[in-house]
Structure 1
Amino acid sequence: MLDDRKLDILRAIVTDYVSSQEPVGSRALVDRHNLGVSPATVRNDMAVLEEEGYITQPHTSAGRIPTDKGYRLFVDRLGTVKPLSLAERRAITTFMAGAIDIDDVVRRTVRLLAQITQQVAIVQYPVLTSATVRLIELLTLAPGRGLAIVVNSSGRVDQRQLDLGAASDEQVSELRGRLNAALVGHPTARVPDLLVALTDEVGPELGPLAAVVGAALIDIVSADPATRVVVGGVPNLTRFGDQFETTVKPVLEALEEQVVLLRLLGEAGGSADVTVRIGSENPYQPLQSTSVVASAYSHGDDVWASMGIVGPTRMDYPSTMASVRAVARYVGRILAEG
């Protein structure tokens, strides 16, 4: 166990290194921080911190930098999550205002996170366990070609093209009415069963068309949006070229793998509060030069997904954690209002 003075020195090293991006020496710590001890005492404490694996010396005669273990202790015990300023909270509200559907919410969220953290943002599409059907639309685009559109209670809009065959406009219109009467207000999870019953009821004239449209609607509601992750702010990696000099390519390749990102979010963001995976704690080797700060966002038990950022281990953890938490909570409120 480290005493309070050594913890204060570790906090100062992390803070200065994140700010200056340069190894931190004992003299600089004494000059910048009110530690109340001599440089010799600070050097002795730094030697203990290095022996315990919390800091390391990257070059001979250089100062010290935090290790993954040092960052972990900083996050767990030393880093106070900074409250967002009124201006920052207003910026989030303004940026997210006017989102028209789930797709728009996700796009705005990933852009906002990337901008305010200056890191790579990743946002998982929400799982809507009790979304209901709000509207079914069938459109004729050209002879024999049509479009099926489903709008659910979250505002999500999905569509599929259809082969209408020889169906007339009157038949398309009649089926549209019957579909809305049968499906609107029901949970999307019940749509397949309701469509089977409707297909049995419509009779031989609408039967073939109902079968084609029903298959398209089942395809729409069966698609799992939770397997989709949106990434933004990848160019922010160039700000940390020194840290990613030899690893930027595998980092970029990892950021293109949806399964990897889902795993990262699932493991790092499984809590309603902010969680942090630092360096070697990440399960995927190409991302072990990075940290992941993530949080779940939800509205009760109805919506559950995760969002977060990927950046260098040398990041401002208190500010980043505050930003991720604030955006996650705000998106949860948007979904509740939708």
Structure 2
Amino acid sequence: MANERRMLVLRAVIEDYIRTQEPVGSGALTRTHDLGVSSATVRNDMAALEDEGYLIQPHTSAGRIPTEKGYRYFVDRLATVVPLSPAQKRGIRTFLSGSVSLDDTLRRSARLLAQITGQVAVVASPSLARSALRHMEMVPVSSATVLVVVITDTGRVEQRTIISADRPSDEVLGRISARVNAKCAGRSLRRCGIDVGLLAQEEPDVANRGVMDALARVYDELATQEQASNLYMAGTSQLTHGQTADMAVIAPLFDALEEQAVIMRLMTALSEVTQSHGVGIAIGSETHTPGLMHASVVTTGYGQSSAKEEGDEAGETPSGGEPVAFVGSIGPTHMDYATTISAVRAVARYLTDFMTNEEGGADDDTGH
């Protein structure tokens, strides 16, 4: 029972510290929380929590603040997340409905998430490796050049050129495009590369086969292309202008944000291993990133891959349905976790609905 009460004291300390960013004393706790015990008992509990590594006393005779271990215990047992207000829900809908393209939607989503949380928002564009082919066109540009336009199910449009000294006629290029679309629509770009390579082997005409082999290489390149540059960030200025901005913490965080490939790997991995409330959370050293030792990351995936791989029959619902990208928030370890979790999850749901053009479900940010 004493241990159970001690953990209630820990939760109270963390809630107060998140709200005030000031060390919390036993007297303040007994005044603001109904713990049912005296200030002396609370003081003893706080001393025990410090011995166990959940709290630390930054200065002698001062109150205590949570440690990384304390935050982890708190986050893992977070009972509820704060629902977004009707105004915030309307704000998300307005931001998305006013966008003119997928890139614009992602940029707007990052700005809005940063406004809700007061932290750095990071939104990744859909991964080509997890995208499926919607449509492909081969457009003749010159006597030796063909422009390949690939449109994915996530709205990405990629263009590549193929150089062929013996370019097929416009009519033949049209027939090749039709064959590839009929064979590959709905399949992952990696699978498209394989399928187009197989179609090329069946092609008797040498010039046609050369163009189809080059097209297969285009799909292979797209499927393995790194997307580290396609990150949309917002909210860095809000961190620096916050009332409790600590430049000793913020400066290394900014350095970490400059390393976009590092942020991409961290948040992608974290979004694939969801923890409490359907999000992935890394606190301090759990990020394995030096610049984020005093920061926390909350992220989750959005969208759902419809790409079919080998073993998936045509027309069959693809297995897996993994997210195509992530949305997340980066802030100090004393962030408001409940609000951040709710906001990240809600924006992810709106992005998923936007990409699938489905109505309904966007008002529900409870995760159920």
> Into which bin does the TM-score normalised by the smaller protein fall?
0.7 to 0.9
> 1:275 offset after TM fit, Å?
2.3
Query: Residue 89 and residue 301 in structure 1: after superposition, are their counterparts in 2 closer, same or farther (change >3 A)?
Result: farther
Query: Residue 29 and residue 173 in structure 1: after superposition, are their counterparts in 2 closer, same or farther (change >3 A)?
Result: same
CA distance in 1, matches of 2:294, 2:331: 9
> 1:227 offset after TM fit, Å?
5.2
CA distance in 2, matches of 1:244, 1:11: 24
CA distance in 2, matches of 1:310, 1:88: 19
Matching of residues 292-311 of structure 1 within 5 Å:
292-299=297-304, 301-304=320-323, 305-311=325-331
Q: What SS does structure 1 have at the residue aligned with 2:31?
A: helix
CA RMSD after TM alignment: 3.4
What are the superposed Cα offsets for residues 215-263 of structure 1, whole Å, 9 maximum, x if unpaired? 7744663343565551412333314586642243432222222332233
CA distance in 2, matches of 1:202, 1:111: 53
> 1:156 offset after TM fit, Å?
1.4
CA distance in 1, matches of 2:93, 2:226: 25
Answering whether residue 336 of structure 2 is matched by residue 336 of structure 1, we say no
CA distance in 2, matches of 1:3, 1:207: 73
> 1:181 offset after TM fit, Å?
0.9
CA distance in 2, matches of 1:301, 1:65: 42
Q: What SS does structure 2 have at the residue aligned with 1:61?
A: coil
Q: How many positions carry a matched residue from both structures?
A: 333
The equivalent residue for 1:183 is 180
Query: Is the 8 Å Cα contact of residues 6 and 45 (structure 1) preserved in structure 2?
Result: yes
Structure 1 counterpart of 2:259, which letter? E
The equivalent residue for 2:336 is 316
Answering whether residue 304 of structure 2 is matched by residue 284 of structure 1, we say no
> 1:139 offset after TM fit, Å?
5.8
CA distance in 1, matches of 2:108, 2:224: 22
Answering whether residue 218 of structure 2 is matched by residue 224 of structure 1, we say no
Matching of residues 1-338 of structure 1 within 5 Å:
3-78=3-78, 80-97=80-97, 102-127=102-127, 129=130, 131-138=132-139, 140=141, 147-161=147-161, 173-185=170-182, 186=184, 187=187, 188-193=189-194, 195-196=196-197, 197=199, 201=203, 203=205, 210=211, 214=215, 217-218=218-219, 221-224=222-225, 230-233=231-234, 234-239=236-241, 244-272=246-274, 273-299=278-304, 301-304=320-323, 305-337=325-357
Q: What SS does structure 1 have at the residue aligned with 2:248?
A: coil
Query: Is the 8 Å Cα contact of residues 114 and 120 (structure 2) preserved in structure 1?
Result: yes
CA distance in 2, matches of 1:113, 1:251: 18
CA distance in 2, matches of 1:110, 1:165: 45
CA distance in 2, matches of 1:149, 1:198: 19
CA distance in 2, matches of 1:16, 1:156: 45
Query: Residue 204 and residue 94 in structure 1: after superposition, are their counterparts in 2 closer, same or farther (change >3 A)?
Result: same
Which TM-score applies when normalising by structure 1?
0.81
Which TM-score applies when normalising by structure 2?
0.75
Deviation larger for 257-266 or 213-222: 213-222
Residue segments in structure 1 that go unaligned for 5+ positions in a row: none
What are the superposed Cα offsets for residues 126-176 of structure 1, whole Å, 9 maximum, x if unpaired? 346461241315263x89777432212332101135657797xxx664354
Query: Is the 8 Å Cα contact of residues 110 and 122 (structure 2) preserved in structure 1?
Result: yes
> 1:319 offset after TM fit, Å?
0.6
Deviation larger for 210-219 or 309-318: 210-219
Deviation larger for 215-224 or 41-50: 215-224
Structure 1 counterpart of 2:329, which letter? I
Structure 2 counterpart of 1:112, which letter? L
Query: Residue 291 and residue 229 in structure 1: after superposition, are their counterparts in 2 closer, same or farther (change >3 A)?
Result: farther
CA distance in 2, matches of 1:293, 1:98: 26
CA distance in 1, matches of 2:248, 2:331: 15
Structure 2 counterpart of 1:316, which letter? D
